[in-house]
Structure 1
Amino acid sequence: MLQAIFYARFHPERGPELFSQWPPGLALFRGSIESSNGLLEFSELSTFLVPPQDLTNRALSVCVNGYRILGFPISLEGAHYPRNRFAFDVCVVLDESLEESWLKSWEAVVAKLARFMRDLEANGSTKGMLSREETIRDAGGEETGVVNKVLKGVFEDLAEYGECCVRVSKSRVLNLRLSAPTDDPVTTPKVQIWDVPLLVRSLQSFDYATLDLVLAQIAPHVNGVSHVKKIAQLADVHLPLARKAIRTLVRSGHAMTLDIFHFQAVYQLTADFAWFVGDAQMIDECRGYIAINPADNILATSWDAATRLRASEISPLTRTTVIELYSAIDGTSPVAEFCIAHEMHLYNIDVRRLFTFGIIKGFVRRRQKYVVGSNTSNITDRASNAARWKPESDPNKAWRNAAFSSGWATPPVHSPTMTKDPLPSGKQLRDDLDAKLAKYLDGQHCIDQMCVELGMTEKAVLARLNSGAFGDAAVLLR
């Protein structure tokens, strides 16, 4: 799809010329600085690639010899430039057979790239960067490499990942993403704050300093264990921003979302388990993913001396063991009971990864718990009445309101007695908690959502639901 990218400029003495291109050895233009046996004639296209001023600052497309050249020529005026003008263009070379549906995506990429290059030259700490590089090269000196760096980064990363991130200076970072065509839309995934993101493809840059600011902060905490809300807290990022960044990772295929793993969770096999059993290569991949040193097992803290001795003598993990463990997932027992029943086979296995691998491949799924309560209306009414009669939270504001209503011309700034609201009683706290829990007891909200949004453990939620305050509360698995 992407064949080449090049930077052309208008030289004050020589006129339009090719300044740099990538790949550097590609014989794209005849009569250029790169080759005399290229596929295209630069002089014939120069009028379009570096056009007159009245055709600049807009998208241009040229089709010739089976190629489509997309550009966005830029013209900057200033008395410090020769001829009072600095004109250039950054173009991408695509196959002419490119589907029309992709053109808008490429045009958007080229337009953003052109604006970025314009800002490098015209604004901020990098002002004059492009013209200085050209002056150095014209004088026979070594170039600073800014143009080459941008062209190389854009070409290689867009071709490989469909996106790129190129840092030019401390304050200048170019981020481009080739969006899917409008006639083949990608559905924006729903990411909830109780979802657990897991990276399934490495980020384009391992240097977090070159990433989006929010992504750079949350990336170290995306580990397949922490949910979105916890990641936002650990990274000190506003929750909606963290959620949006993770949704972008999921949409671009860099991450997927899992359910929260804990030992009260219930899992079941899907119909795809038969496919897993018949794929020896997939089983071996699973063995490598879940195998750990017995000393690192999270269950090791509860082992006695005899168990630790058996763990040190455990034989290597076999395919049969993997299949037997997955076959033992019955869809009704929580993970804790599964671990107790199969402790002898879990010495050198990471339990969390055992279930996570199955979810990633699609032959294991989590059965979520939902609650239906029979006595939620009375709890809601009680909480509403308590809120209606709640005293003024700010005593100074209450005093000033009373002073104004009494007809005082200038009420005092402070109340004569600095009273404080009494701390809420245990009954008030329980009523508030019950009112919040009651909103989730319609069978449409999973317990993971309750735990994350209310900041409670599943054990604490179930204990309150079983207190009788909500009548007969039924927990459903589905």
Structure 2
Amino acid sequence: MAVKCIFFSEFDPVAGPVISYQVPQEFPIREAFDAVHDLIITKPQLYDRLISVDAGGYRIVGCPKSIEDNRYARNALIFNFVLVFDEDTDTTYYEPVVQKLGGAFRTYELESHFLSTKSSKSTIPSILTQLLIRLNSTGICIIRIDDTNTLRLKVSPNVKDPPLVCDHHVPVFTQSSCQFKQLVKDLVAQEIIEYVNGFNHVAKISHLSEVSPVIVKECIQDLVIFGFVKLLSIFQYCNVYVPTQKLPQLMTEEELQTRCLQFVSLGDTRPKLADVFRILCSLEAGLSVKDLCFRNDPRSMSIDERKLIQFGIMEGLIHHLQKYPVLNRENSDIPTELQPLIKYLDGSHCFDEICCSLGVSNQTLDELIDKCIDITVCWK
């Protein structure tokens, strides 16, 4: 748990700097506060400045705010929403949250006197509790403040190597997409996730949502970082899959079995676990999904073959054998119609990527490659 405590501090005209509310209430922050309160409720020169200070074994991060008006005692309301961490915590990714938190409540006060009205101010402990829980669980907070205001905060996690999102990647939600869609208020993000169904690739989502590919990739990347989405390969009936060493877990882990049967069922009828396991075990090199369906007819067993493959990939139960074209000789006589392919023939670009980039089908790409004897297709 990164955030140990959140407190609301303000300047009391009699007592001076005080902690009015804190969550958890029993957290021992008072002594540290007394030692550095002049850096929490500060002089005017430090208003709106992000301040991080170590005291009592904790790192205290705040952004003091002030509103000048003769309706307040001493003609000013001075306050600070403060996050508390262990002293050795890297708080870089929480600093924008602290700044936005203070700024949001300054706006609420200017618009509706939220902090200076007893009834609305009394809701602060509840807000702090929700903040603490959500910052430490998902890093995303969407909290209804009143009838007209909603607080939205997001912690950008410390990701040294953020996942690369490409045009041919297929995002799929790892949890209920309906619940997630209700939480998202950003209009552009709403347009994007409307087309995230586990089968549309990034380029298609961009086209359908009429949102720039760059923005779509940034949105999907954030969802991957926070664990809401996984990236899969494009599903096609010509694809070939093989079981992995994790497949036997499906017969031993009840929780995995429950999720699998719920996920792959076709309609309201639950399939038999034995049928699901048998079909997955029958996957092998050289056998396409189309051939698999012809042999087993999964739909007659109430199994959605597309969802079955999707679940298998998400859980690591099966592996997609991708095709990678390689040019055997640099000085090969490449036909004119294959010239756009040359930069993809180093063995690091799969068929999905090439098809998306060139706007051709898998079959068309196969036919083009067959025209050159110096191109070898590797499966891996």
Smaller-chain TM-score bracket:
0.7 to 0.9
Partner of 1:414: none
Question: What is the DSSP-based 3-state SS (H/G/I as helix, E as strand, rest coil) of the residue aligned with 1:143?
Answer: helix
Kindly indicate whether the alpha-carbon contact (under 8 Å) linking 1:74 and 1:87 is maintained by their aligned counterparts in 2: yes
Kindly indicate whether the alpha-carbon contact (under 8 Å) linking 2:237 and 2:290 is maintained by their aligned counterparts in 1: yes
The alignment status of 1:6 with 2:7, answered yes or no, reads yes
Partner of 1:156: 133
Q: CA deviation at 1:27?
A: 5.5
Question: What is the DSSP-based 3-state SS (H/G/I as helix, E as strand, rest coil) of the residue aligned with 1:445?
Answer: coil
Question: What is the DSSP-based 3-state SS (H/G/I as helix, E as strand, rest coil) of the residue aligned with 1:456?
Answer: coil
Partner of 2:89: 101
Q: Distance in 2 between matches of 1:289 and 1:10?
A: 55
Partner of 1:143: 120
Alpha carbons of structure 1 residues 5 and 337: separation in structure 2 relative to 1, 3 Å: same
The alignment status of 1:365 with 2:319, answered yes or no, reads yes
Partner of 1:448: 352
- Give 1:92's match in structure 2, choosing from 62, 83, 89: 83
What amino acid maps onto 1:59 in structure 2? I
Q: CA deviation at 1:233?
A: 1.3
Kindly indicate whether the alpha-carbon contact (under 8 Å) linking 1:205 and 1:211 is maintained by their aligned counterparts in 2: no
Q: Give me the identity figure in percent.
A: 26
Q: Which has the larger radius of gyration?
A: 1
Partner of 1:465: 369
Q: Which runs of 5+ in 1 are unaligned?
A: 30-37, 121-125, 296-315, 383-430
1:423-464: CA deviations, max 9, x gaps? xxxxxxxx5xx4323443343321111221222221222233
What amino acid maps onto 2:51 in structure 1? A
Partner of 1:336: 290
Question: What is the DSSP-based 3-state SS (H/G/I as helix, E as strand, rest coil) of the residue aligned with 1:218?
Answer: helix
Partner of 1:174: 152
Q: Distance in 2 between matches of 1:161 and 1:209?
A: 12
- Give 1:128's match in structure 2, choosing from 100, 106, 110: 110
Q: Distance in 2 between matches of 1:203 and 1:6?
A: 33
Kindly indicate whether the alpha-carbon contact (under 8 Å) linking 1:173 and 1:210 is maintained by their aligned counterparts in 2: no
Kindly indicate whether the alpha-carbon contact (under 8 Å) linking 2:171 and 2:220 is maintained by their aligned counterparts in 1: yes
The alignment status of 1:61 with 2:56, answered yes or no, reads no
Q: Distance in 2 between matches of 1:164 and 1:270?
A: 38
Q: CA deviation at 1:261?
A: 0.6
Kindly indicate whether the alpha-carbon contact (under 8 Å) linking 1:373 and 1:471 is maintained by their aligned counterparts in 2: no
Alpha carbons of structure 1 residues 58 and 196: separation in structure 2 relative to 1, 3 Å: closer
Q: CA deviation at 1:159?
A: 2.9
CA root-mean-square deviation: 3.8
Alpha carbons of structure 1 residues 101 and 448: separation in structure 2 relative to 1, 3 Å: same
Q: Distance in 1 between matches of 2:115 and 2:144?
A: 20
Equivalenced residue count is 376
Q: Distance in 2 between matches of 1:22 and 1:317?
A: 47
Partner of 1:475: 377
What amino acid maps onto 1:462 in structure 2? D
List aligned pairs for 1:228-377, cutoff 5 A: 228-279=202-253, 281-293=255-267, 317-343=271-297, 346-372=300-326
Q: CA deviation at 1:334?
A: 0.9
Q: Distance in 1 between matches of 2:354 and 2:156?
A: 38
Q: CA deviation at 1:365?
A: 0.5
Kindly indicate whether the alpha-carbon contact (under 8 Å) linking 1:198 and 1:222 is maintained by their aligned counterparts in 2: yes
Alpha carbons of structure 1 residues 215 and 102: separation in structure 2 relative to 1, 3 Å: same
Alpha carbons of structure 1 residues 210 and 166: separation in structure 2 relative to 1, 3 Å: farther
Partner of 1:408: none
- Give 1:114's match in structure 2, choosing from 72, 96, 102: 102
Question: What is the DSSP-based 3-state SS (H/G/I as helix, E as strand, rest coil) of the residue aligned with 1:100?
Answer: coil
